[in-house]
Copies of this chain bind each other. A is one copy, B any other.
Amino acid sequence: MTQSRQIHLVRRPQGMPRADDFAVVPVETPDAAEGQVQLQALFVSVDPYMRPRLDADQPLDAPMLGSGIARVVQSRHADFKEGDLVRHFSGMQERFVSDGRGLQKLTPDPALPLSVYMHALGGTGITAYGGLLEVGALKDGEQVFVSTAGGAVGSVVAQIAKIKGCRVAGSTGSDDKAAWLRDVAGLDAVINYHKQPLASALREAMPNGIDVYFENVGGEQLDAVLPRMNVRGRIPVCGMISTYNGERAGVKNLSSMIYSRVRMEGFVASDFPHLNAQFQTDMTGWLKSGQIKYQETILDGFERAPEALVGLFEGKNAGKMLVRAAE
């Protein structure tokens, strides 16, 4: 038996989530029984997809659903030994026991920090890769626009598009992120949507229209983009973060999809198991060569997961937002 903690949702948020919609709950984690392992959380991930679940799928007074990296600290399971690292989808638990189902053993490349397996080499990376290349059917040299380009998914999308020889512009909500995208990630143009009217900024940033719009935001940004889409343009819909917290500005320009034959298609990270091997190879290479750069915002301390999640929705992250629960 070990003293540990869980993060629970204790109240469904009204609009923007607040830290006190959650609680840090002390629990006793049992030792691993025969056929089980006990795991210790190292990294806890907070992600935009969690927002809509807070309204429905996420049970109240139970551990928050979510993914992380954990270390095996007790093993009575033939496939695992103490010290093994795993990726899991067992939610926000400081320690937990598992029969091994749903655990994915991780052998990190020693040249890369472990945290990248929670973003560029993890769920957000394959979301970017599959969403852009398969759903977006990107062709080399096309015109690409990415919303929330400073986020964990958007920043990878933008850089993959650059690797594929595209002209790439992105939108973001802060000057710091804009500077990083322009100066470090190498985007051709960056729009700070708090400072520039989107429609005219977009005309200037994408003078040849848009072939692929990687959609993370919805609402006004989608409305500004739709009339700029080129014929047979694609809009992979990864997220619509502007609509998650109740401010639902209706989208008015959908009819421009008709003459432009635009295709808009929703997807989720788990749609791409068939791409995983190629993704791991490509992304490991791009990270090691420095062609894909990343930012992380890591809060230290398991108990800071609610703060991290709320901060994510308030845009306080630069790149991937993570919580480090232990070294």
Contact A268–B259 (Cβ < 8 Å): yes
**What is the total number of residues of chain A having a CB less than 8 Å from a CB of chain B?**
29
- Asked if A107 lies at the interface with its beta carbon under 8 angstroms from chain B, I say no
Interchain CB contact under 8 A, B243 and A258: no
Are B238 and A258 neighbours in the complex by a CB distance under 8 Å? yes
Mask: chain A, 137-167; 1 = CB below 8 Å from B; 0 = not: 0000000000000000000000000000000
Residues of B within 8 A of A263 (CB): 263-266
> A200 within 8 Å of B by Cβ?
no
Best-buried of A52, A255, A260, A263 by chain B (most CB within 10 Å): A255
Contact of A218 among B240, B254, B267 (CB under 8 A): B254
The oligomer's copy count stands at 2
Q: Could you say which of A238, A248, A251 has the most chain B C-beta atoms within 10 Å of its C-beta? A: A251
Report the nearest B residue to A267, measured CB to CB. Answer: B261
Binary per-residue interface labels of chain A (276-298) against chain B in the complex, 1 for a CB within 8 Å, 0 otherwise: 00000000000000000000000
The answer to whether B271 and A266 touch across the interface, beta carbons within 8 angstroms, is: no
Q: Given contacts A249-B250, A250-B249, A252-B250, are A239 and B258 in contact (CB under 8 A)? A: yes
Point out the residues of chain B lying under 8 angstroms from A72, CB to CB: none
| Inter-chain contact A237/B254, CB cutoff 8 Å | yes
- The docked-state distance in angstroms from the alpha carbon of A254 to that of B264 is 10
Question: What is A's interface to B at a CB cutoff of 8 Å?
Answer: 52, 218, 222, 237-240, 243-244, 248-252, 254-255, 257-268, 271
Other A-B pairs, 13, CB within 8 Å; known A258-B267, A264-B265: A52-B255, A222-B254, A237-B257, A240-B254, A240-B258, A248-B252, A249-B250, A250-B251, A251-B252, A257-B264, A257-B265, A258-B268, A263-B264
